[in-house]
Structures are given as structure tokens and as C-alpha cells.
Structure 1
Amino acid sequence: MSTLGERIRTIRKQQKITLEALAGDQLTKGMLSLIENNKANPSMDSLTYIAERLGVEVAELMEEVSLKELREVLKVAEKLFSVEFDELTDEHEQIIVLIEPYIEKLSHGYEAARLLDIYSRSLYYEKKDGWQELLDKAGAIYDQMNITPRLAAVGIFRAMVKFTAHDYDRALKLLLRERSDIESRNAFIDPLTRLDFYYLEAVLQYAVGNAVEAIQVMNEGIEFSKEKQIFYRTDHLYRIATFHAMMNNDAQSMEYYERKLLLYGDFADDQDAIFFTKFASVHYLTSYKKDFEEALAIINAHFDKQVVPNAFLPYAHLEKGKALYGIKKYEEALSCFKEVKIADYVHHPFDLSIFYEKDAYAALCYLSLGDKKKAITAIRKAVANVDPMPYTPYKNFIMETFVFIKERLD
């Protein structure tokens, strides 16, 4: 447990304030030095003055949880916070219960900042108020301590909050602003943070329909990754590149990036990256080549004979349903479409548009089965969902299907 004087000195140094500056006109430099070295006790008036000069509450100077205790709490919180989104149960609720008793005492130091960071994000995920103020407080401490990666992560989170609300333009503007602010204030930005910015900017540029800018940023990220021999975000960048090639019907580039993903997956023992290549192959066959029989053969050989990662289950059901529709097994296709559940963490317009195709294919199945009422209900749902999305081949397919069904029903 640190002393009052040690806490004053620690906060002062974190804020880069000199003894003379903190002393101001109500204390002497010598007296303040005695207080910091525990050789003099400040009066309540002096303590209030010092707290005001440091921008903290008096209670934060008077009381403090031991650093050892905070580290133990943080260790548990980090473990809970590291659970993948597709495997979450009540981890965020556990985090809130764990950290809440310490919130008022988290004023400085890395442990305090990180606990505030994790707690505020958990509040957001649980749709509770007050997370913005606490996240800002965490960011301020990171800034004081010059912890650039964590400060950047706070800025990125703010942008991604807008992304999850499907406010893609605002999300991109926030991300670019945060990146510019970080770059203007820091001579060195670690490679992992740079790769985060490259990847997320590419994602958001695509989300707002800026394909040219997205490709440029994506390629810059890939080249930077090669230059630094760092493979963080590599699989994500290659996934974006694969889908871009697919949507432009560039089979050669798509195969190139799939090979890169396979090499990465083997190297990093990343089963998700390997599985993505199988999904991409099937998706290309169903959505672009309309070769449903070959797609179903791959599905039967791989999807049905191995454990599909949780994140890919909705896509697997969707692709199987599309393939079954293509070979005119409409009832079986509809059963697959009913299994497609869009996860809460899916927000990119490309992913959403792919999933919204489900209702267009379901409409075609209903039409073929003679159920006109369900056909028009399903296609109207698909159109309503995809209408705000930027142009993609998936949106085009849904709109064309709407016209096709209307003509058949008129």
C-alpha cells in the first residue's frame, strides 16, 4: 500500500508537473517535497488544493487499493475479456460485478486504466449507461503514461461503436481522426497498432462504398506486414482481398489470396483461416458461378464431415441452402435457411448483404413450391434489409429477384 506522499508524487510525475508548478502560490516547493517524502502531513485545505491542481478527487489521494490487489483483479478481468465473441455467455456481466467495487478508486496507473477500459466496454456490450465517460478516463490515463497502443485501441473502439450502429460514414471519419491524432502526437507507432489501422480503415472504406481507397489501404497493410515480417492481421487482410477479387469476378487473384491464406493457416495453425478458404470456394460456386452441384459436393465432403467453427456455422447453413435450392431441393433448402442466425457481432454491409440473400433464396423456394404469399413476404424482407447497404453483387441479386418474383405474381 503506497503512502499519501507517494501517491501525490506518482500522479504528479504521470502528469509531468514539476514540484514548483504543483506548489503554485499556496505552497512552497520545499513543503511539497516534505509532503511527498512523508516528512510532513498536509492540512485538509492543502490536500484539497493539491487535489485540485492535480485534477483528482481528495478521496483518490487519501485512499488507494493496493497495486497487488488491482493486478489480481485485472488478471481475472483479462481472462474473462479474452473470450471470443462467438463463445460468450455472461462474461461481460461477470466483469462488471468484478470491477465495479473498485471504480471510484481507479485514478492513475496502468492497472487502473486497463480496468476502466475493460469495465467501460463491458458496460457498452451490456447496454448500460456511463461507459463513455469511463472509457474517456481510461484514455486520459493511457495518454498521460504515453501508452500508444492502448490509447489507439480506445479510439478504434469509439469508431467501431458507430460501425456496430451501421453508421459507417461516421465510423470511418472517427477512425481517420483517431489515427491522425495518434500519428501527429507520436513519433513512433508500434507495427501492430499500424496494422490495426490499416485493416480497419480498409474494412470501413469498403463499408461506405470506397472500393478504390479500400484496395489501396489493404495493399499498404499487406506490404507493411511483409516489410516488418509481422503476420498480425494478415489473414484478415487476405480475407478482404479474396472477397474483393470474388466480387470483381477475378478468379486468378482470388485463387492467389486463397493460397496465401492456406499458407498462413498452415504456418500459424489457424483453422479458421483454413476453413475460410473452403467457405470462399463454395460461396464463389453458389453466388457467382451458379455451379450448385459442385458446391454441394464440397459441402458434403468438408462442412458435413468436420466440426465447423462457430463463427462459420451461419455461413455453412446459408451456402448449403443455396446449393440445395440450385438442385431444386426446395424443402431441404428452406430447412437450412431457417438455421441461419445472424450473430450480434456481424455488422459489415458485405456480410449482412450476404446473409440477406437468404430471404431472397427462400422467396424463390416458396415461389417454386407454389406458396406465393410466403414468397412475396420473404423477398420484401430481403429488400427492406439490403436497401440501406452500399452496392454489392448480393444487393443486386436481391433486387433482381424482387423484380423476377413480382413479374411472376402480377
Structure 2
Amino acid sequence: MLGERIKKLRKQKKLTLEALAGNQLTKGMLSLIENNKAQPSMESLAYIADQLEVEVADLLEVISSDELRDILEQVEKIYNLDREKTPEKYKQLIELIEPFAENLTQGYQAARILEIYSYALFRDDQENWLEVAERAAKMFDQLNIAANRTNIAINRAFSKFIIHDYDSSLEIFVRERSEIEANYAYIDPMTRLDLDYHEAVLHYAIGDSESATRIMEQAINYAKEKQLFYRVDELYRLAAAQAMMSNNEEKRRYYLEKLKQYGEFADNQGSLLFYKLLQVMLLTSEKHDYQKALEEIDQMFVNQDDLDFFDPWFNLEKGKVLFYLGRYEEALSYLEKVVFPDVHHPFDLSLLYVVDTFKALCHNKLGNKEEAYTSINRAMANFQQLPETPFKTFTEENYQKLFA
């Protein structure tokens, strides 16, 4: 309400009623205005705004520009919190934004608050997130801000990606990208890399490796041309992962080396850990050098205090190696440590879903037929909705061997 805004601004400026009233208003009249029991004339409103050193529009708006700025600072602070350490952050955002969300109509601050509000609603499984996202998207279109508009497009596609509806996710993304490129005469290099990276990820998810490779290599070359490191880490990881799935040894060796070089150059531990993981996988699956693979994994556990995101994958690889070495009880102990992180790409899921296949193989060797049956069926059910990968084929072949 107008009166409440005037009172709040007066207190922020540390003014008394008498000081704000000055020589043009009485203390009593100003008190009535602040308590919404009287409406000031435009002349009085202009005087009050001048005394408070704000624009009349700030008093008339449901939310002043200063209030919006303060709210956005709070919203950004909560939004950037680590979700694992603050699991309630999306509910906090909803509670903070919801009371005034309907009154956010224009300007970057309002659009950004709505953008984050839509993400919070989505994460909280509330159906109206799409409506809020559309409002924010239109405002960014009016402001001609491609980066934020692109983030909303990615999130729309992501909503299908996390339920493993990869075809719909790609369809939404391609449509959104076409609209963005049609409406924006200029798209900044970082936003273009965002578009290329996510489109490559989605093509790869549906098994279209040819399109994924083309877009991915196009993005890597563009990043080099613009001398940008943005998304290079993710692009090389994606390229290396794709190469691992192919039979092209030359391309595999090339992208693994690129991933390593980038990790060393940028001191990027994520890239180096991923490189190490892929190297161990090659030792296990192709070279069958299980002892060397085990030494590499144990060295990783010793040298890295916290493998963080990659911990499940290294536990899985150790379980696999121990199985091949005939140490079935030990293998199961490491396979049981594998906790699925919040990942949704078929490559990541394939790597993780194979854990149940190896559990089945260990149980079978130990004579635990019922546990083996349960594990292999769980693996088959998980792989059913994923595109073809070597891990899916491996699971299907072992299902036939175990339970033909």
C-alpha cells in the first residue's frame, strides 16, 4: 500500500513525521496518509517524493526500484547457495517471491526475479512454473537480453530431460533455439556456446552421434576462434565420452589427450578426474589389465582427499576390477558404495546402471541366485528406457547368460 511504502522509506531515511511533513503538510495529515486513511493529492505526493529523494513513480509502484533491487540481492544470494547444504533453498525462494510475483511487470530486476522464481517452482514440482517462465521470457525478449532468455529455454527442455524423455527435450530445445535466433539480431559468444553445448548433449542423448559431434566440434572451434574457455571443459568431457562409445580409436585418443591437456592447462580437477576415470575404464574393458586398473584407482583414492562428484564412478570401477580379479566379496562391498548422483544423461546413467549387472555377476559367482536374479532384473529395467550403449548391450548379454 502507498502509505506503508511512504512510512518504510521515511524510516529508512531516518526522518520523523514532522521532518517529512515539512512546511507543506501537517503531521496529522501525513500520519493519516501513512496509515492509508487518507489519499494525498498529486501535489502532496510530489512533495513527499521530493522529501524522500525518490521518484513519484517509486511511490506509486507496488514495488519500488529500491525494494526490487534489495529483493533481487536476497533472491540471488539464496539461489546461489549449495543445494546439498541448503536443501530448502527453493522453498525459501518461493516464500520470498510469491507475495509480490503478480506485480512484477517490467524491467530487468523483475524479469530476473521471475526467472529464478520459475526455477524454484519447477524444482518444487509446482505446475505453474511454465506460466511464470513464459512471463520472464517475454520480458527478456522486450529487454533484448539473449543470455537469460536462453537459460529459460534450456530449463524448459531440461524439464523433459530429467524424466528421460529425450526426444521431447530435443524438440523443445530446437524450437526454442529457433525462436531466439529469429528474434535476436546479436547473440553473445557465451550464449551461443550454451546453445551449442546443450544441443550437442541432447542429440547425443537420443543416439544421434553424427549431429552431436558436428555441433560439438563446431562449438569447440568457435570457442578457439573467440579465445574463450567458457564451456570448453564440458565440451571436451562430452567429446571424450562420445569417443569412448565409438569404435574410432584415433578420435578417442585425440579427445582424451585434449581433455588431459585442458585439465592441466586450466588446473581443472574435474577434467583431470574424468580423464583418469576414462583411462581406468579403458584398462578394464579393452586392455583387460585389471591389476594396473586397480593400482590406478587406489592411487586416486590415496591422492584425492575427496573425489566429490566422481566418487560413485571410481567405486564402481573398483568393484568391476575386483570382480574380474575373482574377489567377489570385496567387489560387492565397493559396488554397494555406489550412490547415484543427480545425473540424467544416458551416458552417465549407463555407466551407473551397470552396477546392478556386476552385482548380479558377483552374486552368481557366490551362489546367491536370488540376489543375482533381483540385481540383473533391476539393471534390465533401468536400461529399458535408454538408447543403445555398450553398457546396455553388456547387461542384455549377461541377462541371457545368467537366465536363459
Q: For residues 347-400 of structure 1, give each alpha carbon's deviation from its aligned partner in whole angstroms, at most 9, with x where no partner exists.
A: 111111111100000000000001111111111111111012111101110001
Amino acid in structure 1 at the alignment position of 2:270: D
Q: Given that residues 164 and 385 in structure 2 are in contact (C-alpha distance below 8 angstroms), is that contact kept between their aligned partners in structure 1?
A: no
Q: Aligned pair in 2 of structure 1 residues 325, 88: CA closer, same or farther (>3 Å)? A: farther
Q: Give secondary structure in 1 for the equivalent of 2:303.
A: coil
Output the amino acid matched with 1:76. Q
Matched, 1:261 2:259: yes
Q: CA 1:66–1:89 in 2, change beyond 3 Å: closer, same or farther? A: same
Matched, 1:361 2:358: yes
Q: Is structure 2 residue 130 aligned with structure 1 residue 168? A: no
Q: What one-letter code is carried by the residue in structure 1 that aligns with 2:388? A: Y
Change (3 A) 1:88 1:237: farther
1:11-410 alignment to 2 at 5 Å?
A: 62-83=60-81, 89-343=87-341, 345-407=342-404
How many residues get paired?
353
In structure 2, distance between residues paired with 1:229 and 1:338: 44
Preserved CA contact (<8 Å) 1:315 1:340: yes
Question: How many Å separate the matches in 1 of 2:149 and 2:229?
Answer: 22
Deviations 1:244-280 (A, max 9, x none): 2212244443333233223322333321112111111
Name the CA distance, whole Å, in 2 between partners of 1:78 and 1:156.
19
SS of corresponding position for 1:289: coil
Which amino acid in the other structure matches residue 384 of structure 1?
A: A
Larger radius of gyration: 2
SS state at 1:389 partner = coil
Indicate if the aligned counterparts of 1:92 and 1:125 stay in contact, CA closer than 8 A. Answer: yes
Query: SS at the partner of 1:165?
Result: coil
1:84 offset after TM fit, Å? 5.1
- The alpha carbon displacement at 1:39 in A equals 8.2
Compared CA separation, residues 238 and 88, structure 1 to 2 (3 A): farther
Q: Is contact 2:283–2:290 with CA below 8 Å preserved after alignment?
A: yes
Shift of 1:193: 1.1
Q: Note the C-alpha offset of 1:285.
A: 2.1
C-alpha spacing 1:266/1:72, structure 2 compared with 1 (3 Å): farther
Question: How far apart in 2 are the matches of 1:181 and 1:188?
Answer: 13
Q: CA deviation at 1:115?
A: 0.7
Indicate the percent of aligned positions where both proteins have the same amino acid.
Answer: 43
Return 237-246 or 309-318, whichever deviates more: 309-318
Offset of residue 61 of structure 1: 10
Of the structure 1 ranges 389-398 and 313-322, higher mean CA displacement relative to structure 2 is found in 313-322
Give 1:88 shift.
5.3
Distance across 2 between alignment mates of 1:142 and 1:120: 14
AA matched with 2:224? K
Structure 1 pair 88/231, CA: closer, same or farther in 2 (3 Å)?
farther
The TM-score with structure 2 as length reference comes to 0.82
For the aligned residue pairs, the C-alpha RMSD in angstroms reads 2.3
Q: TM-score, structure 1 length as denominator?
A: 0.81
Q: What secondary structure, in the 3-state scheme, does the structure 1 residue paired with 2:276 have?
A: helix
Unpaired stretches in structure 2, ≥5 consecutive residues:
3-41, 46-57
Following the alignment from structure 2 to structure 1, what is the Cα–Cα distance between the partners of residues 81 and 113?
16
Deviations 1:80-135 (A, max 9, x none): 22345666532222222222233132111111111111111111112123211111
Letter in 2 for 1:185: N
Larger mean Cα displacement after TM superposition, 83-92 or 292-301: 83-92
Letter of the structure 1 residue corresponding to residue 215 of structure 2: V
Q: Which amino acid aligns with 1:245?
A: A
C-alpha distance 214-85 of structure 1, shift in aligned 2 (>3 A): farther
